[in-house]
Amino acid sequence: MKYWEIYRTLRRHLKLSEKRNVAFEQNRTAKYTVYILSGFVLIYLMFLAVMFSLIINNSRSITGYEFMYGFSPFILCVGFLFRFTFQQTPSQLMKPYVLLPIPRYTCVDTFLIRQLFTSYNLLGFAMFAPYAFMSVVFSEGLLAMCGFLLGLYLLVLINSQWYLLVRSILMIHMAWWIVPIAVYALIFSPLYTEYSPLTFMQESGFDTLCDFYAQMGEGFTFWHPQYYLAAAGVIAVLFLINRRMQYYLIWQELGKVAKAEKASRFQFSSLSKFGETGEYLKLEVKSIMRNKNIRKAFIASTILVIIFSLLLSFTDIYASEFMNDFWCIYCFSIYGSMMLSKVMCYEGNYIECLMVNKENIYLLLRSKYYFATIMLIFPFILMLPTIFTDVCSPLQLLSYAVFTAGVSYAVFFQMAVINRQTMPLNTKFIGKGSMENNWVQIVVQLFAFFFPIFFIRIIQVFFEKTTGYFVMLAIGIIFIATHQLWLKNIYRRMMLRRYENLEGFRASRDS
């Protein structure tokens, strides 16, 4: 087979694997919801394009292409963070083909090429294209507008390859976060200076940043070849690095030999007095301590809470009331988002053992709820600096914590009924359950993050802010007090689907 035929065959296999995914029907339904939400995002981006154009068209100090390229570091940074939700690395892609007589890098090349031409890379054009028609084509010409858009597209492709590289090294160890932090600190370094390279005058840090990257915009817009060669070179270098790294990491995991580890001495005997519930609480704690993927999710959640707590406390980045509420809710919901949205997925590795005795699953769900509620102590403590700096009030944090433990967790636990795809406990690159996005989980996570914000906004229309917090507190307490009722309802619905779910867990489990 020729290279192009192999690429087409592997691409067809990828599409078939998505259709054969045990969560395909659920994903197809949830995708429609995501598409609707994406439509609102597109409309919002178009609105931003019109707003920016109206501002720039009335300005005589900066041109249209200079503004957009000066603002591009912020756009690319936001796009980089959003990719963590919708894009993944080539897990499970190479495993079925390792013994076939095909070029060794073909599978990785297929994935990387697919990522270069994914529709996500075109999302930004909902803002770039209208902006170009309104602020570039009439002042600079059609050819300049094409150069303007092509340059932005090359930057998006660089961002795509950069994301894949960062996502891969983060799977090795969380300490690699130092790499993207250092790179973005370098990219935004003009913010720390007050000397503009464009006007040769002292300006504010933001103006200096815009002037610095505006020069790049001029090069792309007016087709200066050195800028296109540099962008193509960066894409090629990142592509080759990703190619080598993905191949090395996947083979390393395929050939990994399990090492015998010394058993932990921590017995958690204090939990034994709670009977069977205590035993399942021990299981939750030991799952975090012994399994890499669960442990990394917990560590990542804690790091994110610390970062946003410090940003809220000591900077003005999220000074608006909406952003303040959103990030506070986010800090309390992040643990549930990373762990409870995948409830029963990790247990799919040993689900048969949990089905031995009657109501084992119910006891497990109840223990998970208690454990997740206790875990809310961590974000509450980590968010205390926001109280000391008068950014948040104690009542606000308490109401958000209780509302999360009641309403948000009740939503997250509904996933126990429909989750039937096993998630790997330790493998990262070749685990079956780590390949496809679960769109239902994404919809549930978005609901858990944004519903409390809309709820508090509606309450504040009729009442003052303090009253709104008390209402959220009361609703959260009601859901907490009735947790056994809705957990039993979830358990009964799970039992009605138990054979279907068992089949899914077994089919998606690593062999």
Question: 0.85 exceeded by the pTM?
Answer: no
Q: How much is the pLDDT for 347?
A: 84
Q: How much is the pLDDT for 439?
A: 66
Quick one: how far is CA 455 from the chain centroid?
23
Say which DSSP state 391 is in. S
Confidence of residue 404 (pLDDT cuts 50, 70, 90): very high
Coil, strand or helix at 101: coil
Confidence of residue 28 (pLDDT cuts 50, 70, 90): low
User: Residue 16: is its pLDDT beyond 80?
Assistant: no
- How far is residue 142's CA from residue 132's CA, in Å, rounded to a whole number? 10
Residue of 349 and 27 predicted with greater confidence:
349
Contact residues for 494 (Cβ-Cβ < 8 A; gap 6+): 361, 416, 417, 501
Amino acid at 316: D
State the chain's maximal CA–CA distance in angstroms. Answer: 77
Note the pLDDT tens digit of each residue in 470-505: 999 999 999 999 999 999 999 999 888 888 888 888
User: Between vectors from CA 374 to CA 369 and to CA 377, what angle results, nearest 5°?
Assistant: 140
DSSP-assigned states of every residue in 290-329: H-HHHHHHHHHHHHHHHHHHHHHHH-STT-SHHHHHHHHH
Which range, 29-33, 165-169, 367-371, is most confident?
367-371
